[in-house]
Amino acid sequence: ACFRPVLSYYCGYDIFHNAPRLKKMYVTSMQRTTVKETISKPEEYIIGFKSKVPKSHVTWSLAPGYVLFVNKYSPFSDRPRLACALKNIDLPMLEIDLKQLPPWFRWFNQRETVPTLLTPQGTYVHESQLIVHYLDDGFPEHGPALLPKDADGSYHVRFVESNVDYFMDAMYSFIKDPKNMNAKEEFDWGAGELEKLLAEHQFGEGPFFGGATMNAADVSLVPMLVHLKACTPELTEGQDLLANYKLLAAAAEAGLTSEAGKKVFLSLSEYSSIYKTFLRPSS
């Protein structure tokens, strides 16, 4: 109960990683009333051991608060950053250079990916859209809600998110190889499905899935559209991939020019430059 949150928060170390039986014993004991009454909260243990941690430690000054590890060029990092901007959540964010990954980052995420959210309890949330949902649930007093609370609305948003995943995979496959006609067909199918879903105006006339304001479906999609907008047509063999999808193009533009978007997104030229460096190094 003590060292689990402390070691996790400061070192990214899971004491139960190679001790499943010990974890089972811990989980069982935590159900006992006598144990619940005698242990402290994880945050209190993290604070209690703060004096043992060097002040130079990357999370020392932030303990025991939230820490969001991001990269400003990553559309996946843009998702929780956009969620924070929409909900007016002020989270400490640490920029991670993915080209020269800090050695200490591996302590917090062995997969070496961003975004990663460290919580005040010393737990970690991975995967961009899961972090978005976590923030929406964890900060209900901050508005607006990104995920509808009714079953039908929640299903619709999650269904759109699953379509975004398909669209995203096809998008990057085609950007990497614009001559791949199979990738182009997959892209057109995915974009067409999202265009039809936008046209349903489930939560209002638009330009977003959430109507006049973004919801979790938009948080999932808009960063991808912005990055696509930066790549097309220059990196897609002269093809404007959004030309036939007016609603998607409108959502991308509205996201870029929104107040939340202005806080999150870089210029299209900056994104384009990064993609050229990685995908077309000789051009």
Query: Which CATH number covers residue 181?
Result: 1.20.1050.10
Residue 144: closest CA among 229, 153, 235: 153
Instruction: For residues 48-69, give the mean pLDDT.
Output: 94
Q: Let me know if residue 259 belongs to a domain.
A: yes
- pLDDT tens digit string along 77-114? 999 999 999 999 999 999 999 999 998 888 888 888 99
The angle, 0 to 180 degrees and rounded to 10, between the axes of the packed helices 216-231 and 128-138 is 140
Q: Let me know if residue 210 belongs to a domain.
A: yes
Q: Let me know if residue 263 belongs to a domain.
A: yes
Tokens of 241: 């991939």
Domain range for 14: 3-52
pLDDT at 232: 93
Q: Let me know if residue 92 belongs to a domain.
A: no
Q: How confident is the model at residue 283 (pLDDT cuts 50, 70, 90)?
A: low
Residue 115: closest CA among 219, 202, 249: 219
Q: How confident is the model at residue 273 (pLDDT cuts 50, 70, 90)?
A: very high
Q: What is the dihedral sign for C-alpha 187, 114, 278, 231?
A: positive
pLDDT at 281: 67
Predicted TM-score of the model (pTM): 0.92
Residue 188: closest CA among 201, 206, 174: 174
pLDDT at 160: 98
Boundary residue ending a domain (52, 69, 88):
52
d(C-alpha 154, C-alpha 274), whole Å: 35
Q: Let me know if residue 123 belongs to a domain.
A: no
The count of structural domains within the chain is 2
Q: Let me know if residue 23 belongs to a domain.
A: yes
Q: Let me know if residue 158 belongs to a domain.
A: yes
Q: What is the dihedral sign for C-alpha 65, 136, 81, 5?
A: positive
Q: Let me know if residue 39 belongs to a domain.
A: yes
